[in-house]
Homo-oligomer: A and B are copies of this chain.
Amino acid sequence: MTDEDDPQTAKASLTWYDSRANQPHRSAEFRLYYTTDFIQEHAQAGDMLFVATREGGSVLVIVAVAGSTTESQLLHLFGVAVDEGRVTKKLIAGADDIVLNAATTYILDNLGIASVVSPTETESIRDMLSREFNLIMPTTKVFSDFVRRYLGKEVSPLDDPDAALMKYWQTETLFFKTIEKVGIEQWLSEGNKTAEDFLKFSLSIHQTRKSRAGDAFENHVEALFQMHDVYYSRQPITEHNNKPDFIFPSINAYHDATFPVDTLTMLAMKTTAKDRWRQALAEAERINKKHLATLEPSISVKQTTQMQARNLTLVVPTEIKATYKPEQHSALMTLTEFIQLVKERQKSEFFTPNLIPIPAVPKKAAISKPRKK
């Protein structure tokens, strides 16, 4: 696996055997034999090899490019550290041996290894979503608003926007997967499907997953900005028809040549950033030091170093920040810190009333209708 491409996969038979089993006077020499050229074609010296035995006897072999984000995410997922040149072994027998939090769930989802949702939890959520939405997927905006009302006082968005964002995000993901599952089960039960039907339907399922994840992330972050009285323009046009996700304090301030550059802020948003962060660099020419909000855990040191060299600071929730190494923390900012930064900057004397943005939605709309569960 590299950071730039989707995982490449192949099926093969594996044999783990002692090549000297018939030579009792010699010590054992174990060999791993596999029936594919796939690994030789793609792996290089220095890459990280993960060999995981699974329930049912199959074996999952993952090769991650040395120094890649994928490598550091897998090390984080399995809770192991690199021991130069040596083999590390870890037993993961039950649910207690691997921590299923936002970061590890993210990694499992992106590996294509579905994360487990407890069936009892799913059932009560399914009933609730059946009452609320008849198990039909609402638009992301409606869904995100509903999730924030549903959680209500379980979260403290004003005291801890980082924790609130993670809770909003995880809850919307869970609700989304619950309705998605109903749609897939419906499709499967219809029968008489062709390969072409399968390709079309499954492509739309995976595209919807990705695009809704991005929309939900943006919706919740925007709602938090509103709750914190942050001024911003969402998806304004800067130049060359480029549209960054957010400009602070407003796009009018950005286009006002007398407005000081060091009081302007740009925030790009990408749920997955490892292969796409460079896109953010071209989005607002006036702003040299840019910010990128992401939910991606354990981005490699190599990539955060490149980001710093390009004056890009990552904005990540506290829980995701914990998956990064201490030496990377200078390249990172929590959402709380980012909100403090833009609130400080919007106090600028240059931010005159005529530059105040006209919000696309009424301020506070996102938290205006508390609703009983």
Contact = CB atoms under 8 A, between A and B. Distances in A.
B282 A279 contact: no
A9 B207 contact: yes
A7 B207 contact: yes
Contact of A195 (B181, B196, B207, B240): B181
A299 to B, nearest CB: 15
A339 interface: no
B36 A279 contact: no
Contacts of A140: 41
A31 B4 CA distance: 45
Interface residues of A, number: 55
A200 interface: yes
Given A41-B139, A188-B198, A195-B188, A276 B306 contact: no
Contacts of A114: 196, 199-200
Interface string A178-220: 0011001101100001111011101111111011101100000
A9 B278 CA distance: 26
Given A41-B139, A112-B204, A203-B112, A4 B195 contact: no
Interface in A310-368: none
Contact of A204 (B9, B207, B210): B9
A185 B181 contact: no
Contact of A4 (B188, B215, B241, B276): B276
Given A184-B198, A282-B306, 6 more contacts: A6-B211, A8-B212, A9-B211, A37-B139, A184-B195, A185-B195
12 contacts: A5-B210, A7-B211, A9-B207, A66-B241, A114-B200, A184-B195, A184-B199, A198-B202, A202-B206, A240-B302, A241-B302, A282-B306
Interface of A: 4-10, 36-38, 41, 66-67, 112-114, 139-142, 180-181, 184-185, 187-188, 193-196, 198-200, 202-208, 210-212, 214-215, 240-241, 275-276, 278-279, 281-282, 302, 306
